[in-house]
Amino acid sequence: MPEAVVKVKEGVVPTKDTRIVLAGVVSVPPIAIGAWQWGDKHVWNWTPEAEKDANEAFDKAFELGIPFYDTAEVYGDGESEREISRFRQKYTQEQKEQQIIATKYFPHKHRTNFPDVLLSALKDSLARLGTMNVDLYQIHAAIHPVEIEVVANALADAHEAGLVKTVGVSNYSKEEVQRMYDALKKRGVPLASNQVCFSLIRTLPEKSGLIKLCHDLGVAILAYSPIGMGILTGKFGSKGPWPEGRKETFDSLDTDQLERLLSVLKALSEKYQRPQSAIALNWCIVKGTIPLGGARTAQHVEQNRMALNFRLNDSEVAELDKHAFEGTTSEWKHG
């Protein structure tokens, strides 16, 4: 089996043609499109009218050569997956094969009858997505009511059935990643990725050694909320007011430290003639992760794409690190 490529190599300027190879099988660009916002009413206040914008965002990612889309069965209660299916209808089969689709299984407490519950949920996701298999299938968090080894066997069954090309996890800690990796290895299935909350307002996955462990195992890190749910764009300032759905997260940040961090981002934004969001995303790439930039509009995709074709130098990364937040774990976020 070909070797996994888990990150952009040190010193390499990332472009749309730079390839990371999940589990040595699925070739992806160094940045992805997060589809949490598509269909979500709780945090992102989605309305049916927003589908046109999301469709344009999907198309723009394909046009710009970064057609890597990350969704989940719980995003909008399946609406995100259904939208992606509708967006893909106009594309040829050859074009669809260039689109990388990742989705996730949510380990609700009542889902105990493995592997059946996972295989059933996966088939429902495939039906909503309108496809026979997905490129990456992930466990949404390590909150499942059964042991990791049981979940690993279910993922291996899905892989052997040809329903998924690669398998991954999300929000897993170092210990949980190691257990999943070992359990899958016994079945001859590589662990492709661990998707964690990672940004300048949550650097814990790096400080804890999680990113290094994953890289050592050949596991790629997908960084969700890489622009801190929007706060790193600078549009809210350091004191708000904050959007209601994100208030709890933003209120936990020290405003003086945030002010200094945003000031450095602004200076680098001016130096590189790119939006602050692109600086924050490039920092994620330099740290060895694949940032999943949320995108409600085509303009957001274009801004995300501007994280490519340059690379922050070591002193700039160090300056950002100096003002970055460590963040915390939670019942939900172990990694």
Catalytically annotated residues: 75
Other C-beta atoms closer than 10 Å to the C-beta of 124 total 13
Closest among 192, 133, 190 to 164, alpha carbons compared:
133
Asked if residue 102 lies in contact with residue 69, where contact means CB atoms within 8 angstroms, the answer is yes
Q: In this structure, what token pair is assigned to residue 28?
A: 């992806």
Beta strands in 111-247 (DSSP E): 134-139, 164-170, 191-197, 220-224
Residue 159, classed as helix, strand or coil, is helix
State whether the Cα torsion 40-114-103-233 is positive or negative: positive
Q: What secondary structure, in 3-state letters, does 35-63 show?
A: CCCCCCCCCCCCCHHHHHHHHHHHHHHHH
